[in-house]
Structure 1
C-alpha cells in the first residue's frame, strides 16, 4: 500500500511526485546559484571598501527585475528550471523534448511569430483602455518614449522567462499529468500550478489568481491547438515585455523599467492595483477576447493527445 503512494498502476512514479521532485531539484539548484551570486557580489562590494551591513542591505534591494543583479539572478533562475526539466525528462522519462511540445524552432517559427504579435497586441490594448478610462496616468508624452538599456535587457529576460514557464507548466506538468489522467484534468491542474507559482508575488489578489489561471488556460489551449509550445512561448514573451519594459506596468507584482512610465490614478479592480494589470478586470476581458481570437482565426488542426 505504501508503494502505491509513489507508484501508479503502470509501475511508473505518480505525476505529482515527478513534478514535486523536479521543483525541489530546481529550488535547490536555484538556491546554490543565488548563494554563489550573493557571495561574488559581497566580495566585489567589500573590495570597494563598503562595510558588510551596507552590502547586505544593498544586496536585498538589488534583487528586483529592474536592477542588473536582479536581471542576472532571474536569468540564472530560469536557466535552473530549464536545466531541471531537461535532466528529468531526458534521463528519467527517456523521451525527446518534442514530446513536451518543444519542437524544432524552424518548424515552430510561424507559431512563435503569431504568439509574439498576439501578446504585443493584447497588452497594447490593455494600456490604451486603462489610459482612456483614466485608470492610469502616463508620466510624460506618448510621442516621447524613453529608450534605455532596459528595453534590450528586458527582451532577453522575458525570452528566458517565457521559455522557462511554458516548458514547466504547459510542457512538463501537462505532459506528466496526462500520463495518468485525461487531458482535461491535466489542463486544469497544470493551470492551477501555474497560478500558484505566483503566490509569493507582491500585491497578489483573488482576481490575480483568476487571471493567472485564465492566462494558463489560454496558453494551454494554444499549445494543444498548435501541437507545440512556441505559440504560447511567443504570447508569454511579449505579454510580459510590453507590460513591463514598454508600458512600465508592474509585471505580476514585479517592478520593471519601461520606455513609458505609468502610475495608477487609484488602485482598483480595473487596473489591478499593486499586482499590475494582471490583477484587474481589463486583463480578464482581454484574455477572453484572446480565447475567441484563437478559436475563430487560428486554423491549425487541434492535436488530440
Structure 2
C-alpha cells in the first residue's frame, strides 16, 4: 500500500505528505502578516468595527502582500526543502533549467490570451468599462499584486508541476496519469476559492493540463511560470476581472453584470467562462508551435 514493487514510497504518499507540510508552513509564514493586521486594524471605530477580513486587507494592501506573499514564500521554501531532502533532487531536476527565453514567451502568451478574451467581451458588449482607456487607475495594488502574482506563479508551478510531476515520473508513472494528477490536484486546491463554479474548476484543471504540457514539452518550469504570472496579473490588475473568485484591483475596471456568465465567468472571473476554455485550448497549439520553432 505504501511502497511500490521497487520498495519505494509511492508517489501519491509523497505528494500527499508534501501537500500537508506545505500547507502548514504556508500558514506559519502568513502568521506575521495576520498578527500585524490585527494590531493595525483592530481598534474599534465609534464602536462599529467591520470584522470582514477581506475588507480589512483592502484597507492595508501591503499587509495583505506580507500575509499572502509570506504564505507563498513559505510554500516555495517547503517545496524546495521537500524536494532536496525527501526526494534527494536538485533545483535543476525540479525544473529550473533551460533558456529564459521560455519565461519571456510564457509572459507574452499569458498576457495576449487575457487581452484577447477582454477584447472579445468588450466588442460583444458582454462587459462595460467603468473607466476609459485614457484614464487608467494606478494604485498601490498595481505594484503589490505584481509582486504577489510573481510569487504565486513561481510557487504553484514549482509544486504542482515541478514537484508533483517529477515525483510521479521518478516512480515510473505513465505520462497521462502524471498529467491528470497534476491538473486535478491543481484544480482541487482552488476549490475553496470565493464564488467558485463548476466551469471555473474545469478550466483550472484544463489550464493545469496546459501547464503540465508546457513543462513536459520544454523540460523546464520557465514557460508555465511566465504564462501563469501574466494570466493572473492581466486578468485582475490590468483589466479588472476577479481572479479565481478573488477581488480585482485593475488599472481598468469592468462590470460583468450585464453579460452572460458563461462568457464572462461572472463573479469567479474569466476562468469561469467559455472564452477562457477556448484560449486555454489555443494555448496548447501556441506551445506546440513555439517548441517546434525553439528546436530549430
Structure 2 gap ranges (5+) = none
Mapped to 2, the partners of 1:256 and 1:211 lie a distance apart of 19
Q: Deviations over 1:65-88 (max 9, x none)?
A: 993332221101111111111111
**Which of 146-155 and 194-203 deviates more?**
146-155
TM-score scaled by length of structure 2: 0.91
Are residues 1:69 and 2:63 paired? yes
Q: Structure 1 201/141 Cα, relative in aligned 2: closer, same or farther at 3 Å?
A: same
Mapped to 2, the partners of 1:261 and 1:23 lie a distance apart of 35
Contact 1:78–1:160 (CA under 8 A) maintained in structure 2 = yes
Q: Deviations over 1:94-116 (max 9, x none)?
A: 1111112122xxx4310000000
Q: In the alignment, which residue of structure 2 is the partner of 1:244?
A: 236
> Match for 1:43 among 39, 42, 52?
39
Are residues 1:157 and 2:185 paired? no
Are residues 1:262 and 2:254 paired? yes
Summarize the alignment of residues 204-215 of structure 1 with structure 2, pairs less than 5 Å apart.
204-215=196-207
Contact 1:42–1:55 (CA under 8 A) maintained in structure 2 = no
Mapped to 1, the partners of 2:59 and 2:217 lie a distance apart of 32
Are residues 1:173 and 2:164 paired? yes
Q: Structure 1 44/280 Cα, relative in aligned 2: closer, same or farther at 3 Å?
A: closer
Q: Deviations over 1:191-231 (max 9, x none)?
A: 11111110001122221122111111111111111110001
Mapped to 2, the partners of 1:113 and 1:85 lie a distance apart of 24
How far apart are 1:251 and its partner, in Å? 0.4
User: Number of paired residues?
Assistant: 292
Structure 1 gap ranges (5+) = none
Mapped to 1, the partners of 2:260 and 2:205 lie a distance apart of 22
Summarize the alignment of residues 1-305 of structure 1 with structure 2, pairs less than 5 Å apart.
5-45=1-41, 50=44, 57=51, 59=53, 61-63=55-57, 67-103=61-97, 107-180=98-171, 181-264=173-256, 265-266=258-259, 268-299=261-292
**Which of 242-251 and 259-268 deviates more?**
259-268
Contact 2:30–2:69 (CA under 8 A) maintained in structure 1 = no
Contact 1:195–1:209 (CA under 8 A) maintained in structure 2 = yes
Contact 1:267–1:274 (CA under 8 A) maintained in structure 2 = no
Contact 1:225–1:300 (CA under 8 A) maintained in structure 2 = no
TM-score scaled by length of structure 1: 0.89
